[in-house]
Chain A
Amino acid sequence: MRWGLGRSRYTIAPGLYAIGTPAGDSPVLVTANYKMTFDIVRRDMRGHDAWLLVLDTKGINVWCAAGKGTFSTDEIIRQVQRANLQQLVNHRTLIVPQLGAPGVAAHKVHKACGFKVVYGPIRSDDLPQFLRTGQTATPDMRRVRFTLTDRFILTPVELASMWRYTLWSILALFILGGIGPQIFSFSAAWSRGIIAVTVGLLGLFTGAVITPILLPWLPGRAFATRGAIAGLATGMLGLLIFSASLGWLNSLALLLAVAAVSSWCAMHFTGSSTFTSPSGVEKEMRQAIPAQAAFLLVGGLCWLAAAF
């Protein structure tokens, strides 16, 4: 879960923590110092005794920290030594969340500090069962899902990370909206600007909220395609409501703009997902960005022309 703002309030101090009243034979769980992750692990482990070794991931969740290299082999070794874990427990096993594996080399941890890394389940609510069954994970515990709730939770993050561009675009739309036969008119800037901003926000909402939620049911594979299709659909819907007052140039502009903005936002959603490969995303973007730009340009010209 990731929000763009106020990150530092969601950090906890790295180091060793106790869940319940752990002893020398209690399991050691490794996690990130993102407060939400920490709280969820503690909640899911309620009623159990365990050690919780918190790495310094700069307040970032396990998956993204592993990708960035802060949830790493070296950091595990460092925290194991700092906490004097060898003295504290009489076993030599660390349970590391599987989603941390991209940043960790199990055999290197073992070599450097004598602790064997056992990869635990992806979701911490599977931890109690994992521990009960002698630290074995079922195949289901090892697969990421990308459920409706997962996708829904990620959407506010997308919106939060885009607000800066959004503000500038809104300003630009009001200024462009004023251009017309009288060269520049403030009343036109307001009336046409407000419609353009609504169209832009419709695209944003379609790409960043509707597309992720409907993802499995939208045609196409690339996120940009799915976003564009969703955008065309909501654009049509918008036309059905407003078309009477718009005229054909404005209507065309609306349709193209909603599709382009929605596609762009949907493409950015790729980074939040655990279903995309960097090679794939890059290929998708090379094809999608020129198309999005063309849509936006033609749409924008139609809109400007409609003023005359």
Chain B
Amino acid sequence: MSSLRYLENIVTLKLDTEKCVGCGMCAVVCPHGVFTIEERKAQVVDRDACIECGACAGNCPVEALSVKAGVGCASAIINGWLTGEEPSCDCGGSC
């Protein structure tokens, strides 16, 4: 689905290759094919496809990954601006 891509170069995903033990979990959970595993190390091959869902970071057993995960829905972000808090998805259960 290369025709459907979002904005470039703003994703907060970080991989610490030193820490990585090559278990492959990040490649399994990522819904957008951001990682491949080569020579027992994870590699970010498609950074701009990342949607910051946080699945990889949460499932990495050695905390080699970090990403500012959150909800990407516009009403949640507006809520966040208005209340000065982290965006939360309280759209009356409509999420």
Contact = CB atoms under 8 A, between A and B. Distances in A.
A270 B73 contact: yes
Nearest to B33: A143
Chain B interface, DSSP helix/strand/loop, else mixed: loop
| Dominant secondary structure of chain A at its interface with chain B | helix
B29 A101 contact: yes
Contact of A119 (B10, B29, B93): B29
A204 to B, nearest CB: 15
A216 B3 contact: yes
A122 B32 CA distance: 11
A277 interface: yes
Contact of A102 (B10, B53, B77, B91): B53
Contacts of B59: 101, 104-107
A278 B72 contact: yes
Given A68-B89, A104-B59, A107-B59, A270 B72 contact: yes
Interface string A117-147: 0010010000000000000010100111110
Interface string A1-33: 011100100000000000000000000000000
Contact of B73 (A4, A107, A271, A280): A271
Contacts of A217: 3
Closest 9 CB pairs of A and B: A271-B73, A101-B55, A101-B29, A278-B70, A277-B52, A280-B7, A4-B94, A278-B72, A102-B53
B4 interface: yes
B32 A143 contact: yes
Contacts of B93: 4, 7, 58-60
Contacts of A105: 58-59
Contacts of B53: 66-67, 101-102
B76 interface: yes
Interface of A: 2-4, 7, 58-60, 64, 66-68, 98-99, 101-107, 119, 122, 137, 139, 142-146, 157, 160-161, 215-217, 221-222, 267-268, 270-285
A275 B89 contact: no
B10 A280 contact: yes
Contacts of B55: 66, 98, 101-102
B69 interface: yes
A57 B6 CA distance: 29
A215 B29 CA distance: 26
B65 to A, nearest CB: 12
A278 B31 contact: no
Given A268-B75, A270-B73, A143 B6 contact: no
B6, B29, B72, B77: most-surrounded residue (chain A CB, <10 A): B72
